[in-house]
Amino acid sequence: MTAPVLAVVVCHDGEQWLGTALSALRRQRTAPRYVVAVDTGSVDGTAMLLSRATDGLVDRVLTLPRGTGFAEAVHAALDAAPGPVEWLWVLHDDCAPEPECLTGLLAVASAVPRAAVLGPLSLDWADPELVVEAGVSTDASGHRQTGLGGAEPVAAFERITEALAVPSAGSLILRSAWDRVGGYDRRLPLLREDVDFGWRVNRDGGLVLCVPTARMRHARAATRGVRRLDAVAARPGPSPRGVDRAHGLRTFLVNCGTASFVLGIPRVFLLVLLRALGFLALRRFGDAHAEVGALRYLASGRAGLVAARACRPAKGVVPGLFTSRFTRLRNAFRGFVGYLVRRRVEADAALGRLPPATRPVWTLPSEVEGPPVRLPGGLRHVAATVRVDRPSPVPRFVGVDRWRVLRSVVFGPPCALVVGLVAFALVAHAGRFGLDLAGGRVLPVPDGLWEQYLATWHPVSGGTMAPAPAASAVLAAAGVLTGGPAALVSLLFLFDAPLAGLAAYAATRRAPVRRPVRALVAAAYAVLPGAVVAVAEGRLDVVVVHLSVPVVFAGLAAVLRGGSSWLPVASGTSLVLACLGAFAPLLHAFAVVAALVGFVVVPGPGNGVRRRVVGLFMVVLLPVALLLPWPAAVVGNPSILLHGVGAVVPTPAPSVGELAVLSPGGGSVVGVLVVVFALVLALVRPSVAMVPGVVVAVVAVGAVWLVRTVAVVPPAGGPAFAGFVGGPLLVVGWGLLGVVLAAFRQDARPVPAVRVVAVAGALSVLGLAGSGVAGLAASVLTSTTVPEFATGRSVLVLGTPTRQVVGRLPAFGDDDLVPTLSSPGRLARWHRALTEGSVPEARSALAAASAAGVGYVVVADRAVERRVRERVGELVAPSGLLPDGRPVLRVQLAGGTAVVLSPDLARQARTGASPPASLDVAGLTPVEAAAPYAAVRVSEGAPGRLVVIAAEEEPGWRVTVDGRVVAPTRAWGHLVAVPVPPAGAEVRVEASPTLRSWLLLVQAAATLFTLATALPTRP
């Protein structure tokens, strides 16, 4: 039986598929009336196969040049048709329709009068159980949307659906509809001609249907890169990805509405550039080249956008069939759900728990019935079966109850862990939520951390050119994601437990341990006593340790394994190590030593020695480059190494009993549960897998001893004291929990009385959480801002230690800046003289502070205020209270950030005498200038005058007088001073960055390299 159909077979170097395709065409139950084959310059055996097929199958063979496009070939076949027909059936040389394919298409066409284009299901060439293409759509970025999450089983398609377009291979087209819209666009020689044509047919009023009763195997040689795209040898070809992107963007722009076209041109150009940059960052250079090629194709005018739009009388999206942004969001959600379901089913498959029977993966064509339905264009189809790859060559489709599996995932151990720890955080921090928390060891976090980090000179402790702490750069960079560094710090304190629990759970994903055990271990780690005390006392450095330790040790283990993805793993581990080193240098050094020891002790795979060596060098050296120039400050100041980053807060040393229960102080003893669990399991179920955890715990105990016993003076000055042992104790806890995990490995013998052990573990975690809630009730964190003082003069904050900051109160990072050698002692003397000294000592100290630029003095309370005012009298005046209730005194002495001294005062300043402590001082003229870049124009006058800048004199100042470089001198024993000639001069004083700028460039290069290589690439 024949039908009024013209079958057009377009061939191009398709010898390996053409024989099967012609055989399938010959076996059609309903045969087309005419068959025309078009050979576009094939150089293989295609021509010979077609000549043989002219005996009873192919009516005519056309031979066209090799560069002829697919659209032009179909037009040529129609022009050469032997007779009139009602339908056109377009076939590729790499598609093989099932015997009932044409019959099914014609049956639906007769039942739906408005049907203009009908397409079959495209099945995989090698596995006809998989659907690789059905109805297609596009979005506003020109991406082809199939609604398939990879390959789907045939059983998932049971209804005839409307579509924006169907693939050209196997499509049955009404001849009258073809003539009305002009057929395939000849400006699209290959790829996307089907979407463009279907869009125009829909706008013309016809229906485009996907018919699952008709099925066809399709090799998709062009899109898979198996066949050369000779029709688009020039750019954006011959890459299939480049051609697809270029023609996809053109298809959208020539068919969309006028407003979408006008707004879409700049939007598309911007998005394509951003995508290209993103692909470059991911090292997907082929995709980046495709985006740039598509942009050049549009910008060069070769797309012919204006002319193509003029040829389309009806333009605009087709409601319901165009893929909207909302549909893409739904696809993302459905894709995530499908990923969760697939992972769960794959896990069951690995454990041999697949159901014995599944629903059929093949639905008979007779079972597909019902009128056409319209689904959102490109909406991802949620199948009821999941493909599971088994060791055998043939994959298996497993029927699943999606919602049952999803419920088991949502209510499984990972989600229960997150929900439980979030509930813990909400309860523990009730009444304390805010995005500006500070207190204890964390000073208020100001805005502008980047500027402070990059600055050459810092207005702290009279001024210093020491490098800013790398922690400021980490917070400034990561704070972009949270709306600012202050918000980031607050979120880290508030949600330390959930974040640490997630990090611990993710870090153990390679361990052959059941998920409930991993979740309990992660929960125990999240609420260890050391972390609770750290959050309660505002110890940001220990919070970062808490979050980093699981990731660091998991990354080091992966680097030592030397796997195939060693580069992203090594770079990512280096990045986390650098963050750890920015806050806790001692534990950074501990991790590096652990990596070196592990490299020597742990044997690696024979074929991965080079990867292990390079990975080890990266995790050892790259973090140092990422922290430049901060390591120099750490090496020169042992207090930073032992105390970490944060405000100076003396810490009482914990007792040995407290250390034995993993408590850094505060009276909590529930940490003993972790110690007991680890010891009991190590004695009852010893195994080699416990050795890494034991080694980590034992070596970390050494770090605890070092921090507890060695007392050092902090950079900001004050008495020497030992550091806080919370960070090393967290490492000890992680090592002990590693021992617990090793006892529950699935490759070990079963745990006796497993239910009793599980209940004991759960109760232990609840005990740790309860103790944590009680400990956080006494947290010192409160919402705090950084008040600024409009005058720009320094603020002297009396306390332990005494701090001097320009224009504001002390903030995060100030106590970690290494001041000049004389600054801590001088500030301590000012404090002692103002609060405890005699009247002459107090007035002299205030005069010295005023000469150093101090305009305000902040005291602890009213009692201290009275003592200061009793000593200095009229030299200060009350200036209100700070938000926390501390009194502020305004210094009444003449002074400023820069002054010109008369010859008499200059002589006193040079000789090291004390500044005058009276209100009626003559010969002192404040000028508008300030460090680190001060410029003063001094008129002519008496010889011996001096320009004094309120900044500590130290190496690095560059001084010029009328353009001549001169050496600075000292005034009042420590300030930068410049002699002025009698004729007057222009004096410039500036901080020279010298080596620091080069180190920052090295740091920037290391950061770019790390970020670029840390991103995983698509396999």
What confidence category does residue 422 fall into, taking pLDDT thresholds of 50, 70 and 90?
A: very high
Residues 650-668, mean pLDDT to the nearest whole number? 83
- What's the chain's average pLDDT? 86
For residue 150, the model assigns a pLDDT of 59
Write the secondary structure of 426-465 as one string of H (helix), E (strand) and C (coil).
HHHCCCCCCCCEEECCECCCCCCHHHHHHCCCECECCCEC
Residue-wise pLDDT tens digits, 820-846: 999 999 999 999 999 999 999 999 999
Residue-wise pLDDT tens digits, 698-731: 999 999 999 999 999 888 877 888 989 999 999 9
Residues 525-533, mean pLDDT to the nearest whole number? 93
Question: Which percentage of the chain shows pLDDT scores above 90?
Answer: 45
Residues 760-773, mean pLDDT to the nearest whole number? 89
* pLDDT score of 367 more than 80: no
What confidence category does residue 902 fall into, taking pLDDT thresholds of 50, 70 and 90?
A: very high
For residue 353, the model assigns a pLDDT of 55
User: What is the Cα–Cα distance from 776 to 433, expressed in whole angstroms?
Assistant: 13
* pLDDT score of 655 more than 90: no
314-318, 654-658, 697-701: range with highest mean pLDDT: 697-701
Domain ranges of the chain: 5-221, 236-320, 412-783, 794-891, 898-995
429: left (phi over 0), alpha (psi -120 to 50) or beta: alpha
Total residue count of the chain as it appears in this document? 1019
Residues 267-296, mean pLDDT to the nearest whole number? 86
Residues 120-132, mean pLDDT to the nearest whole number? 86
For residue 953, the model assigns a pLDDT of 93
Residue 139 DSSP one-character state: -
Comparison of pLDDT for 325 and 797, the residue scoring more: 797
Lowest-confidence pick of 192-201, 300-309, 681-690, 753-762: 753-762
252-261, 305-314, 831-840, 987-996: range with highest mean pLDDT: 831-840
For residue 393, the model assigns a pLDDT of 43
* pLDDT score of 775 more than 80: yes
From the candidate CATH numbers 3.40.50, 3.30.1540, 3.30.1370, 3.30.750, the one assigned to the domain spanning 794-891: 3.30.1370
Residue-wise pLDDT tens digits, 35-75: 999 999 898 889 999 988 888 889 999 999 988 999 999 99
Lowest-confidence pick of 132-146, 204-218, 800-814: 132-146
For residue 352, the model assigns a pLDDT of 55
For residue 258, the model assigns a pLDDT of 86
Residues 305-315, mean pLDDT to the nearest whole number? 85
Residues 674-688, mean pLDDT to the nearest whole number? 87
Residues 110-128, mean pLDDT to the nearest whole number? 89
> Are the CB atoms for 265 and 142 separated by under 8 Å?
no
* pLDDT score of 151 more than 70: no
User: What is the Cα–Cα distance from 200 to 196, expressed in whole angstroms?
Assistant: 6
* pLDDT score of 392 more than 50: no
Q: Burial letters for 98-121: b for 16+ Cβ neighbours within 10 Å, e otherwise?
A: bebbbbbbbbbbeebeebbbbbbb
For residue 349, the model assigns a pLDDT of 59
Residues 551-577, mean pLDDT to the nearest whole number? 88
Lowest-confidence pick of 62-66, 384-388, 685-689: 384-388
Taking each continuous run of H as one helix and of E as one strand, the counts in the chain are: 35, 32
Most distant CA pair in the chain, distance: 121
Topology given in CATH for the domain delimited by 5-221: Spore Coat Polysaccharide Biosynthesis Protein SpsA; Chain A (3.90.550)
* pLDDT score of 360 more than 50: no
* pLDDT score of 989 more than 60: yes
Residues 332-337, mean pLDDT to the nearest whole number? 71
Lowest-confidence pick of 397-406, 592-601, 677-686, 863-872: 397-406
* pLDDT score of 1006 more than 60: yes
For residue 397, the model assigns a pLDDT of 53
For residue 365, the model assigns a pLDDT of 40
Query: Which residue do the tokens 């002025």 mark?
Result: 980
The reply to whether 794-891 shares the fold of 5-221 is no
For residue 403, the model assigns a pLDDT of 61
For residue 132, the model assigns a pLDDT of 86
Instruction: Enumerate long-range contacts of 72-78, CB under 8 Å, 24 or more apart.
Output: 72/186, 72/189, 73/8, 73/10, 73/38, 73/40, 74/8, 74/10, 74/38, 74/183, 74/184, 75/183, 75/184, 75/186, 76/38, 77/6, 77/8, 77/10, 77/36, 77/38, 78/6, 78/8, 78/178, 78/183
